[in-house]
């Protein structure tokens, strides 16, 4: 029964990871930037929901408020920093976003304190299999909302004009520019959408789990891992590997103990990268 519990927990958690990873895949594909601050944007979104909870508004509304605020935060980050590193060396962008990550981490630490907090949603729990498996309704709610947002975004990317411009830029930025796409605007919008997705995910995490200013980096690493396992632009793959990671984590937590949970995530990343490296080297290719 423990394993059923861990599996279900992991899948519900993994859907959330997949949402964050989708944002990362989007900006990686379009702008060729790996955003180390991804996780910190998630946590910031979580704090927005938490503050709504503190002021007596039900935190579930954070799912609507957080992305709106985060969209503008994302645009601001893009205008201030990212647009200067977009077509530079990749390491420069990694280091610059690492700086943003440290900045956000610390500002959140000052603004909201170093306590572990959660926004209580009072959703109760669902019991399954003769009360052997306990599922908080908030987890089910968050998984449902994540799927909803993901579907909306996919439709938006397929149908809308901006969505098509984003996809065109991802395929070939120069050609898109020639055909009249304002790539600068597309980049800004992509970063904004990514930040908004992080905001949704963060709000859901603050309802379901806990948030803490320093918890950002693991979310970045998780989404990076999901994207490299699934590949860019492979949406079902992102969902599947997100759930797989969630289940892995729940089992690692259960078998190795909670103190090794984050460590095992990072170790898994290293192992996956090494596996990919040996798989590709057989064909004399390399990750690029």
Partner 1 sequence: MKNNLILYIGILIFGIAAPFVFPAFKVQLSILCVLIVLATTWNIQGGEMGYNSFGNILFYGLGMYLCASVQVGMFFPLAEWTESGGEKTFVHTPAQFFQGMAVGLIVAAVVPTIVAGLIGYSILGLRGHYFAICTLGLGVAAGEISGGIEIIGAGQGFTTPPFPDVGSLDSRGEFFYFLSFFVLVLTFVTVRAIYTTRFKLILNAIRDNEDKAEAMGIETMKYKIIGWMISAFFCGLAGGIMGGLVGYIDSTDVAFDGREMGVFMVLMAILGGKGTLWGPIIGATVFHIFKEGFWTFFLGWQYVALGVLIVVIVIYFPEGIMGWLREKYPERFGEVVDEKDRKAQVELK
Does the footprint of partner 1 cover residue 114 (CB under 8 A)? Answer: no
**What backbone torsions phi and psi does residue 35 show, to the nearest 5 degrees?**
-95, 105
- As given in the structure block, the two tokens for residue 58 are 């039900």
Does the footprint of partner 1 cover residue 229 (CB under 8 A)? Answer: no
CA distance 105 to 123: 30
Does the footprint of partner 1 cover residue 113 (CB under 8 A)? Answer: no
Does the footprint of partner 1 cover residue 175 (CB under 8 A)? Answer: no
Binds partner 1 (CB under 8 A): choice among 66, 75, 105, 188 = 105
Taking CB under 8 A as the binding criterion, the range among 9-17, 49-57, 96-104, 247-255 that sits at the site for partner 1 is 96-104
Taking CB under 8 A as the binding criterion, the range among 6-14, 87-95, 122-130, 149-157 that sits at the site for partner 1 is 87-95
Neighbour-count burial for 120-158, b at 16+ CB within 10 Å, e otherwise: ebebeeeeeeeeebeebebbbbbbebbeebbeebeeebe
39 vs 199, beta carbon nearer partner 1? 39
Binds partner 1 (CB under 8 A): choice among 56, 110, 159, 282 = 110
Q: How far is the CB of 103 from partner 1 (least distance, A)?
A: 3
Torsion sign (Cα): 270, 241, 82, 43: negative
- As given in the structure block, the two tokens for residue 215 are 């918890």
**CA distances to 32, 191, 229, 269 from 232, in Å:** 11, 16, 9, 17
State the residues that interact with partner 1 by CB under 8 A.
34, 81, 84-85, 88-92, 94-96, 98-107, 110, 217, 221, 224, 228, 257, 259-260, 262-263, 266-267, 269-270, 273-274, 277-278, 281, 286-288
């Amino acid at each position: 029964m423990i394993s059923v519990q861990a599996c279900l927990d992991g899948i519900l958690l993994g859907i959330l990871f997949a949402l964050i990873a989708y944002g990362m895949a989007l900006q990686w594909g379009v702008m060729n930037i790996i955003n180390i601050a991804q996780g910190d944007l998630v946590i910031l979104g979580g704090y927005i929901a938490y503050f709504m909870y503190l002021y007596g508004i039900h935190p579930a509304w954070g799912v609507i408020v957080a992305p709106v605020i985060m969209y503008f935060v994302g645009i601001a980050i893009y205008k201030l920093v990212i647009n200067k590193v977009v077509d530079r060396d990749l390491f420069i962008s990694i280091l610059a976003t690492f700086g943003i990550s440290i900045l956000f981490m610390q500002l959140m630490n000052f603004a909201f304190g170093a306590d572990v907090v959660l926004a209580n949603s009072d959703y109760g729990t669902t019991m399954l299999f003769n009360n052997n498996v306990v599922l908080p309704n908030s987890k089910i709610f968050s998984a449902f909302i994540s799927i909803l947002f993901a579907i909306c975004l996919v439709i938006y990317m397929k149908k809308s004009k901006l969505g098509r411009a984003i996809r065109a830029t991802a395929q070939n930025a120069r050609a898109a520019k020639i055909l009249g796409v304002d790539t600068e605007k597309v980049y800004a919008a992509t970063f904004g959408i990514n930040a908004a997705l992080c905001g949704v995910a963060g709000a859901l995490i603050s309802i379901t789990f806990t948030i803490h200013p320093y918890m950002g980096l693991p979310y970045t690493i998780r989404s990076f891992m999901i994207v490299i396992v699934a590949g860019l632009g492979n949406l079902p793959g992102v969902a599947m590997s997100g759930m797989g990671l969630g289940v892995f984590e729940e089992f690692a937590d259960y078998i190795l103990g909670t103190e090794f949970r984050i460590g095992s995530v990072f170790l898994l990343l290293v192992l996956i990268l090494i596996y990919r490296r040996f798989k590709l080297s057989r064909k004399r290719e390399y990750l690029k």
